[in-house]
Structure 1
């Protein structure tokens, strides 16, 4: 890691804007499911209450959504939800968007709150993978080791390429919390595959941005300054030590060969948006700091679904 070397590069640019607004949290801040049944029951209930199911008809009832199985070498069969574009044309070429939910969020639940069909439904093949135990690699409580979930994604992509006309120059990933960490893990371990990734309230445990392969990936990080679950300043959680949001952003920019002493700053609503300049390898490195906000898949100011897709589709 080059974080210590880079830590002072843009420190003078950090501004504190004291704004706040109530948001429904996407994950409980009390921790993840453990071996204690009562803790598990309470946590599961907290998560259920925190993220309303906006598709009460059930995810599998949605037109164009199917559950698929892929065989992953050394892992056996794993599953995912697939949504084809509503106007799917077998003669057209489509980008692929992988969407990863937070810990303890099933693929169906993730689909119901991310709702990418509303923004990307006419443009992209959307995939909601199912994590082992509804958790992604990176934290210590994950059921998969480093690289296994990356291999799972590669297997899904191989299946899609054999069945559909995939635009290999537009493979995207997005995620919430543990799933946001997974999106950055893909940029770290498979930069040759992904054109752009986006993380919302991401969990940046040490393995997520350690030992990365060379290559640039356009990256958007969206994070609330009052996130009490994955703290903006970093810390130690149920999954181990995790990096601060700004150190993670700087590390991404360093891998993208950006000028770490030149940052463009703008504002949108309650968000401060910072983007490193001079990214010679072409990889954008953008941080959207949502002032006063907590741990959530934002529904407004900003709307995470629109914000993420607008970034991804432009890269």
Structure 2
């Protein structure tokens, strides 16, 4: 019990320290939000490029967008070999709580995938290193009522104004708290062709989402966002200055709901070692897929080795039975948005 209490105290202390650190603020890029805070943005045409939008350099660059009067930051990766003579795909990678765009860019291998397969990658920064995905999760953004859906939508619009982004091939991927935001993007916008969620869950309201392709990766031993839907080790009921309430229910039940929304056929299940894939085909070329890794914890499978801070927080080392980035991009690449 003493060891458990000490571990919980260490996690809480580290959470308080890290979540209080703001992300590095890059050079300013002004762009309007696609919707004011508190409203649901929808898929609209990208704004016309203007003279005030800075050119996008090859490689990784720091950028910003103003949403609801607040400057928000993100990183953008443009592969050196990516041709811009035709519209290109865009992946928005959303970090987990305690992370930021730079950490996500380093940890999950999306830049290398972009080099190999030819697409852009954006890495938005959550305020105080977390995302608001419901009224009581997660951290200061939830407490302060931040509209992160509007921010991510504005980020896509700003990138589309500067580069030839294919509006039918815009995707969102997220880790943990970032995966929760990816679900909210699917619930509240029509911007994205598909989402990829790792170790996340749907929180809050999602009354009538449009059918969308979904790939979800989860470990059965995840004790932060448990696979069976019970409260995780960081759950505090959504109270206090750092509210965390994770009550999305069992992951398979949530996936069943998305299959109902997309009117999918019965799933086919394939198991190879610890990895079980349940894939359902849906009308309009959509699919809803759940990949379960037996015994895996709260981590990005195939990601970079843990840092000292991640070990301090008690997070789990990346599973090696699956490369999540490769699996998610393979799924994205065959699921353009249907008209």
Name the TM tier (shorter chain): 0.7 to 0.9
Q: Whole-Å Cα distance in 1 between the matches of residues 297 and 333 of structure 2?
A: 26
Select the residue among 216, 219, 227 that pairs with 2:222. Answer: 227
Q: Whole-Å Cα distance in 1 between the matches of residues 9 and 155 of structure 2?
A: 30
- Give the direction of change, closer, same or farther, for the CA distance of 1:246–1:85 in structure 2 (3 Å limit): same
Corresponding position of 1:287 = 290
What is the CA deviation profile of residues 202-229 of structure 1, one whole-angstrom value per residue up to 9, with x for unaligned ones? 143x31xx23444111100100011111
More strand by share: 1
- For structure 2, the 5+ residue unaligned runs are 1-6, 21-56, 237-243, 303-319
- Give the direction of change, closer, same or farther, for the CA distance of 1:68–1:242 in structure 2 (3 Å limit): same
Q: Whole-Å Cα distance in 2 between the matches of residues 84 and 267 of structure 1?
A: 36
Corresponding position of 1:109 = 103
CA positional deviation for 1:83: 0.4
Q: Whole-Å Cα distance in 1 between the matches of residues 188 and 292 of structure 2?
A: 25
TM-score between the two structures when normalised by the length of structure 1: 0.75
- Give the direction of change, closer, same or farther, for the CA distance of 1:154–1:301 in structure 2 (3 Å limit): same
- For structure 1, the 5+ residue unaligned runs are 1-28, 45-61
CA positional deviation for 1:63: 6.6
Q: Whole-Å Cα distance in 2 between the matches of residues 31 and 272 of structure 1?
A: 35
What SS does structure 1 have at the residue aligned with 2:128?
coil
- Give the direction of change, closer, same or farther, for the CA distance of 1:125–1:294 in structure 2 (3 Å limit): same
Q: Whole-Å Cα distance in 2 between the matches of residues 158 and 31 of structure 1?
A: 41
CA RMSD of aligned residues (A): 2.6
Q: Whole-Å Cα distance in 2 between the matches of residues 248 and 88 of structure 1?
A: 36
CA positional deviation for 1:174: 0.5
Q: Whole-Å Cα distance in 1 between the matches of residues 181 and 115 of structure 2?
A: 22
Work out which structure has the larger RCO, using CA pairs closer than 8 Å and 6 or more positions apart in sequence.
1
Q: Whole-Å Cα distance in 2 between the matches of residues 166 and 31 of structure 1?
A: 45
Corresponding position of 2:44 = none
Corresponding position of 2:16 = 40
Q: Whole-Å Cα distance in 2 between the matches of residues 69 and 95 of structure 1?
A: 20
Matched, 1:182 2:142: no
What SS does structure 2 have at the residue aligned with 1:242?
coil
Q: Whole-Å Cα distance in 2 between the matches of residues 126 and 38 of structure 1?
A: 29
- Give the direction of change, closer, same or farther, for the CA distance of 1:216–1:174 in structure 2 (3 Å limit): same
What is the CA deviation profile of residues 109-130 of structure 1, one whole-angstrom value per residue up to 9, with x for unaligned ones? 1111112011123511100000
Q: Whole-Å Cα distance in 2 between the matches of residues 43 and 155 of structure 1?
A: 23
Select the residue among 191, 198, 201 that pairs with 1:200. Answer: 198
